[in-house]
Structure 1
Amino acid sequence: MWEIFVAIVLGLVEGLTEFAPVSSTGHMIIVDDFLFKSNELFGDEIANAFKIIIQLGSILAVVVLFWSRFMDLLGLKKMDSSAPAGQKKLNLLQIIVGLLPAAVLGLAFEDYIDDHLFSVKTVAIGLFIGAFLMIAADKLHPKIKTETVDQITYKQALGVGLIQCLSLWPGFSRSGSTISGGVLLGMSYRAAADFTFIMAVPIMAGATLLKVVKYWSFFTPEAMPFFIAGFISAFVFALFCIKYFLKLIEKIKLTPFAIYRIVLAIILLFIVW
């Protein structure tokens, strides 16, 4: 039963932090590496496979919430556009443009990042620098030109994609970098958040499925209860977090999350020193 409890708690942490601009990596280090130590509990390979599964739960939550949007992007179902008359709505090519920079760099430097950048100190650095980017977005953002995700231009999509490359540094946060980048490029907070979540699905799903293949042999019947508990937990809490965050971001902006990140970074550095 303890293993199931650990799986549920880690799924909760993943679900609540994966899409909020607070770094799921930083929270996993505190909750898992320092408290539960799933690598010791399940074994290194099972623990790695488990983290893949809970990330899939978070991804599924985005797919459910943006189901109509994804069906529209794939040409399987039309949805009402919020774009002005005569203007094209968000399309698949814009998503690809936003994905390419980080996808290319991620594939090129995946091994280096895994081997050299996943430490408490590097995560703390990512938390600090990402926090200041978020504060800058709140303080320096230009006049809003893009109210909704359907009004995003190719130039903005590429700009967000380039800024997303910062999130390859552990602790920087994918949503923190892309929402900040979108706001600095003239998007509303809601438009930047919507684009972030929609764009996250293919890049996260692709990276996660590659790891599923790598760890496939460890998806054993004995491990399935832990995987299922963690998957459901991550899905449910991510569903709640995303819905709440999309309402919250327009009210409180990014600075409160940035302050939280700075506090988290200090806690991480205090733990290791």
Structure 2
Amino acid sequence: MELALLIKALILGIVEGLTEFLPVSSTGHLIIVGDLLNFNDEKGKVFEIVIQFGAILGVVWDYRARVGRLITGIGSRHEQRFMLNLFIAFLPAAVAGLLLHKMITTHLFNPLTVAGALIVGGILILVIERLPLRARVNSMEDLGPLDALKIGIAQTFSLFPGVSRAGATIMGGLLSGLSRTAATEFSFLLAMPVMFAATFYELFKNRELLHAADIPLFAVGFVMSFVTALVVVKAFLKFVSRHDFTSFALYRIVFGLLVLAYFW
């Protein structure tokens, strides 16, 4: 396999791990960086699915103790309530995704659309950060079904490329009364069923594009995405415990404008 192709895999793996759990849109970054690297063909799309799986396994590893409690304590009322909340939050995007998937992938996956979503999303984050919100839920363990539904509805907006799944769920959490840390941690946990479902659906749908010769390519991207996500998730939690999301909003706006200037 060509060294240049492996280097592209390494770069995209790092980009995925860096952006998947930040409110900056990993899909948007992958579309743009993939376009710049000329790695946006059918193989590139399957590659993106694989590295997204690497990123989600990174957060599963970071939260392995919480996931373990959820599995082993499934008989307890507390864990059943938490799993119900995850299911409620998962459902809106799952249904909308099944209904709109073809339309979204056909018409919206392009750099200019992503740039617009980055800019609009950045402006919305700035607006939300300036609202007089009061946190009434300081732990993700304490949110109720209605809170979970609101976050799930917010997550449906992330089906639009460039919006950011993390950004939509975290902002939805803040608007629902969650603290920054609670909204961020619930976003991490909610990513697991959402991304597992999306990954296996996409891999099954594109199974004819999977070839043994591509294993080194996929392995490089997968490992880099996994390792990078491990580091980013911990660092991001520390950051949100002390800061707001204004810096991410400004980054989105500046990055979106640069993308518009480059591609338009």
TM-score past 0.5 threshold: yes
Return the alpha-carbon distance in structure 1 between the equivalents of residues 237 and 5 of structure 2: 32
- 2:39 corresponds to: 38
Q: CA deviation at 1:77?
A: 7.8
Cα distance between partner residues in 1 of 2:185 and 2:234: 11
Measure, in 2, the Cα distance between the counterparts of 1:27 and 1:48.
13
Classify the secondary structure of the residue corresponding to 1:91: helix
Contact 2:32–2:111 under 8 Å retained in 1: no
Q: How does 1:1-273 map to 2 (within 5 A)?
A: 1-34=3-36, 36-39=37-40, 44-76=41-73, 91-273=82-264
Distance, in Å, in 2 between the alignment partners of 1:186 and 1:222 is: 49
Given that residues 74 and 80 in structure 2 are in contact (C-alpha distance below 8 angstroms), is that contact kept between their aligned partners in structure 1?
A: no
Assess if the C-alpha contact under 8 Å between 1:102 and 1:168 holds in 2: yes
Deviations 1:4-61 (A, max 9, x none): 1111111000100011101112222332202x1124xxxx332222111101100101
SS, match of residue 252 in structure 1: coil
Once structures 1 and 2 are overlaid, which stretch shifts more, 152-161 or 135-144? 135-144
Distance 1:241 1:152 in 2: 25
Q: Is the Cα contact below 8 Å between 2:31 and 2:109 reproduced in 1?
A: no
Separation of aligned partners in 1, 2:87 and 2:259: 35
What CA distance in whole angstroms lies between the structure 2 residues aligned with 1:184 and 1:48? 33
Q: Distance in 2 between matches of 1:190 and 1:196?
A: 10
The amino acid that maps onto 2:69 is D
What amino acid maps onto 2:11 in structure 1? V
For 1:48 and 1:125, locate their aligned partners in 2 and report how far apart those are by CA, in whole Å: 21
Amino acid in structure 2 at the alignment position of 1:139: R
Q: Which moved more, 1:222-231 or 1:67-76?
A: 67-76
- Number of residue pairs matched? 261
* Matched letter for residue 150 of structure 1: E
Q: Is the 8 A contact 1:134 1:177 kept in 2?
A: no
Query: TM-score, with normalisation over the residues of structure 1?
Result: 0.90
Question: Which sections of structure 1, spanning at least 5 residues, go unmatched?
Answer: 82-87
The two structures have a TM-score, normalised by structure 2, of 0.93
Displacement of 1:73 in angstroms is 2.2
Conserved? CA contact 1:49–1:212, under 8 Å: yes
Find the aligned partners of 2:58 and 2:81 in 1 and give their Cα distance.
20
Q: Secondary structure at the match of 2:161?
A: coil
How far apart, in 2, do the equivalents of 1:89 and 1:157 lie? 14
Which residue identity lines up with residue 46 of structure 2 in the other structure? A
Which range moves more in the overlay, 210-219 or 8-17?
A: 210-219
Q: What are the superposed Cα offsets for residues 174-218 of structure 1, whole Å, 9 maximum, x if unpaired?
A: 111111111111111000000001001111110111111122233
Kindly report the root-mean-square deviation, in angstroms, between the aligned alpha carbons of the 2 structures.
1.8
2: CA distance between counterparts of 1:97 and 1:223? Answer: 37
| In 1: Cα distance, 2:119 partner to 2:81 partner | 32
1:76 CA displacement: 4.9
- Give the percent of matched residue pairs that are identical in Structure 1 and Structure 2: 39
Return the offset for 1:156.
Answer: 0.8
Partner Cα distance (1:94, 1:211) in 2: 25
